[in-house]
């Protein structure tokens, strides 16, 4: 009953968002910080903010997410949080002994105007930061951007505050994976190494938020990019940033400050985007594509060929992050599916233009909205029904109320497990993604089939 009274009369809303298709900056910054080995994220704001960010990540990854907070009181909310942050830095290094503290701000500390750089400098002068330990920081107000923006800001902070140039090339390539699952980061590293390239991937949450159950708790898991790797990023032969919104700022910062050439690409989701990624790696390494990668591409093509009749002409509604949606929509179009309703809550200049370019040859009008929300998406669906919905967990309410086959994809996914272990990027991930889409479509066909068409073989 939750959404059955959604009306079909669509009106422009400038001051009201209903069920936003995004979360806030500090969540993305916290996730990025967890991708540094031996790093403890720190939320410079109230204890409640930190608890929300931690709980969202914990529910999505089903792993205990550790983070500290400045625990603002009424006094620090009025007079500033310098004393709180300096005390927190001292307590964290004394009690938990991380290698790095990654401070991100919240609405409260940003509104007050705390200068985190000045505060961390004072903590260093006061002897609160031990030798060989580091404090980095990123500005991440929740009232601007989204979790993707926060991830971008923290990733940029990593290279700006660590990367150096020794003048001696290391022969490696920096890969910035974007806001993707730990399993996706593992898959990206595997593919890059298969192409004969030694990568520095940052951030890297593989083996941090999808590590094995050993029966013993480790506050700082074995995974994550090391400080030494981040420092040597300035000696790399180049940088490939996957996802313009999540990764481009860090890549351009390296290019500007240390002259490490960069290229910005879409996330390798689906066939065409992965082809472009593999081609860029091929040119970078100066090698031929290995048979193992060619075989994986052929397997993805085989599934597309075998099951094309079930994709053809299906209308799809999507909600999620721009970096995911652009290659995903491109993939669906290549399957002869029809993405008709697309919304993202993350602001970005070129999103609508890219989507309309990809879908320009479709036989119907495509609705696309930057800064949209789930309510608008539901209104569009009410006006023009679809055969499939792809969105994060919050899409389940629309799927249930309008009886739409549903594929969970993106962030957050709170009611299912496995996304942190099974990649959906590159060719192998494309096979997994097709399996999920096919299962949703074929389950619906079985459910609705009359007795005479309820077959064992489709």
Q: What is the pLDDT of residues 18-61, one digit of tens each?
A: 999 999 999 999 999 999 999 999 999 999 999 999 999 999 99
Mean pLDDT of all residues belonging to the chain: 95
Residue in 406, 403, 365, 370 with CA at minimum distance from that of residue 384 = 365
SS (H, E, C) 155-205: HHHHHHHHCCCCCCCCCCEEEECCCCCHHHHHHHHHHHHHCCCCEEECCCC
Its domain, for residue 402, covers 292-451
Report how far apart, in Å, the C-alpha atoms of 209 and of each of 31, 66, 101, 190 are. 9, 11, 18, 18
Instruction: Yes or no: say if 99 and 35 are a contact pair by the CB < 8 Å rule.
Output: no
Q: Quick check: is 10 in a domain?
A: no
Considering only 75-84, 168-177, 290-299, 443-452, which range has the smallest mean pLDDT? 75-84
Picking from 275, 290, 305, the residue at the C-terminal end of a domain is 290
User: At residue 330, does pLDDT exceed 80?
Assistant: yes
Check whether residue 313 and residue 443 sit in a common domain: yes
Cα-Cα end-to-end distance for the chain: 34
Check whether residue 283 and residue 296 sit in a common domain: no
Check whether residue 374 and residue 226 sit in a common domain: no
Check whether residue 89 and residue 126 sit in a common domain: yes
DSSP 277: H
Residue 287's pLDDT band (cuts 50, 70, 90): confident
Across residues 102-117, what is the average pLDDT?
93
Report how far apart, in Å, the C-alpha atoms of 287 and of each of 198, 199, 428 are. 13, 15, 21
Check whether residue 34 and residue 145 sit in a common domain: yes
DSSP 289: P
Q: What pLDDT digit, counting tens, does each position of 349-379 carry?
A: 899 999 999 999 999 999 999 999 999 999 9
Neighbours of 173 (CB within 10 A): 23
Across residues 127-138, what is the average pLDDT?
96
User: At residue 297, does pLDDT exceed 90?
Assistant: yes
Structure tokens at 431: 């096979």
Q: With pLDDT > 70 as the criterion, what percentage of the chain qualifies?
A: 99
* Helix, strand, coil percent content, the chain, rounded in steps of 5: 45, 15, 40
CA angle 276, 279, 282 (to 5 degrees): 155
User: At residue 238, does pLDDT exceed 70?
Assistant: yes
Check whether residue 185 and residue 271 sit in a common domain: yes
User: At residue 135, does pLDDT exceed 90?
Assistant: yes
User: At residue 209, does pLDDT exceed 90?
Assistant: yes
Residues 6+ apart with CB under 8 A from 167: 235
Residue 79's pLDDT band (cuts 50, 70, 90): confident
Instruction: Yes or no: say if 330 and 272 are a contact pair by the CB < 8 Å rule.
Output: yes
Residue 74's pLDDT band (cuts 50, 70, 90): confident
d(CA 355, CA 369): 10
Q: The whole model's pTM is what?
A: 0.96
Q: Quick check: is 418 in a domain?
A: yes
The pLDDT of residue 326 is 98
H helix runs in 34-104, sequence order: 47-61, 74-79, 82-95
The pLDDT of residue 202 is 97
Check whether residue 305 and residue 414 sit in a common domain: yes
CA 330 to chain centroid, in Å, comes to 18
d(CA 284, CA 105): 37
Residue in 163, 197, 185, 193 with CA at minimum distance from that of residue 246 = 185
Across residues 434-442, what is the average pLDDT?
97
Q: Quick check: is 12 in a domain?
A: no
The pLDDT of residue 199 is 97
Residue 348's pLDDT band (cuts 50, 70, 90): confident
The pLDDT of residue 1 is 47
Report how far apart, in Å, the C-alpha atoms of 18 and of each of 64, 135, 179 are. 30, 37, 24
Report how far apart, in Å, the C-alpha atoms of 244 and of each of 179, 324, 328 are. 11, 10, 14
Check whether residue 304 and residue 197 sit in a common domain: no
Q: Quick check: is 283 in a domain?
A: yes
Q: Quick check: is 308 in a domain?
A: yes
Q: Quick check: is 403 in a domain?
A: yes
Check whether residue 61 and residue 148 sit in a common domain: yes
Picking from 229, 260, 290, the residue at the C-terminal end of a domain is 290
CA 31 to chain centroid, in Å, comes to 9
Check whether residue 434 and residue 400 sit in a common domain: yes
d(CA 220, CA 98): 8
Check whether residue 49 and residue 190 sit in a common domain: no
Across residues 186-211, what is the average pLDDT?
96
Residue 2's pLDDT band (cuts 50, 70, 90): low
Q: Quick check: is 230 in a domain?
A: yes
Q: What pLDDT digit, counting tens, does each position of 380-437 carry?
A: 999 999 999 999 999 999 999 999 999 999 999 999 999 999 999 999 999 999 999 9
The pLDDT of residue 184 is 98
Check whether residue 85 and residue 129 sit in a common domain: yes
Picking from 290, 311, 343, the residue at the C-terminal end of a domain is 290
Gyration radius of the chain over CA positions: 23
Q: What is the total count of domains within the chain?
A: 3
Residue 78, domain CATH: 3.40.50.1980
Q: Quick check: is 167 in a domain?
A: no
């Amino acid at each position: 009953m939750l959404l059955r009274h959604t009306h079909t009369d669509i009106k422009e809303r400038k001051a009201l968002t209903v069920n936003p298709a995004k979360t806030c900056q500090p969540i993305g910054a916290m996730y990025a910080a967890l991708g540094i080995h031996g790093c403890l994220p720190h939320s410079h704001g109230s204890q409640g903010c930190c608890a929300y960010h931690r709980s969202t990540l914990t529910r999505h990854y089903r792993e205990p997410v550790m983070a500290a907070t400045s625990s603002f009181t009424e006094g620090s909310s009025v007079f500033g949080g310098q004393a709180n942050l300096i005390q927190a830095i001292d307590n964290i290094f004394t009690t938990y002994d991380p290698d790095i503290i990654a401070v991100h701000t919240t609405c409260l500390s940003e509104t007050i105007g705390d200068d985190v750089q000045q505060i961390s400098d004072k903590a260093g002068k006061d002897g609160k930061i031990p030798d060989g330990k580091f404090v980095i920081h990123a500005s991440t107000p929740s009232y601007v951007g989204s979790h993707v923006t926060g991830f971008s800001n923290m990733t940029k902070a990593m290279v700006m505050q660590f990367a150096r140039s020794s003048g001696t090339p290391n022969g490696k390539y920096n890969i910035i994976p974007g806001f993707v699952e730990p399993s996706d980061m593992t898959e990206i590293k595997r593919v890059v190494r298969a192409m004969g390239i030694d990568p520095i991937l940052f951030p890297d949450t593989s083996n941090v938020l999808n590590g094995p159950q050993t029966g013993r708790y480790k506050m700082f898991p074995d995974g994550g990019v090391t400080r030494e790797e981040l420092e040597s990023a300035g000696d790399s032969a180049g940088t490939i940033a996957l996802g313009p919104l999540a990764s481009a700022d860090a890549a351009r910062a390296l290019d500007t400050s240390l002259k490490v050439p960069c290229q910005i690409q879409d996330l390798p989701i689906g066939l065409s985007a992965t082809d472009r990624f593999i081609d860029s790696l091929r040119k970078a390494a100066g090698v031929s594509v290995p048979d193992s990668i060619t075989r994986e591409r052929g397997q993805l093509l085989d599934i597309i060929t075998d099951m094309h009749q079930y994709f053809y002409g299906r209308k799809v509604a999507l909600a999620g992050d721009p970096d995911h949606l652009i290659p995903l929509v491109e993939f669906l179009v290549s399957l002869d599916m029809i993405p008709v309703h697309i919304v993202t809550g993350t602001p970005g200049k070129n999103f609508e233009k890219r989507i309309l370019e990809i879908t320009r040859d479709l036989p119907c009008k495509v609705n696309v909205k930057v800064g949209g929300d789930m309510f608008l998406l539901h209104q569009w669906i009410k006006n023009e029904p679809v055969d499939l919905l792809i969105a994060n967990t919050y899409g389940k309410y629309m799927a249930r109320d309008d009886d739409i086959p549903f594929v969970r994809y993106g962030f957050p996914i709170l009611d299912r497990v496995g996304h942190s272990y099974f990649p959906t990027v590159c060719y192998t991930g494309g096979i997994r993604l097709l399996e999920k889409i096919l299962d949703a479509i074929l389950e619906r066909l079985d459910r609705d089939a009359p007795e005479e068409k309820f077959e064992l073989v489709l």
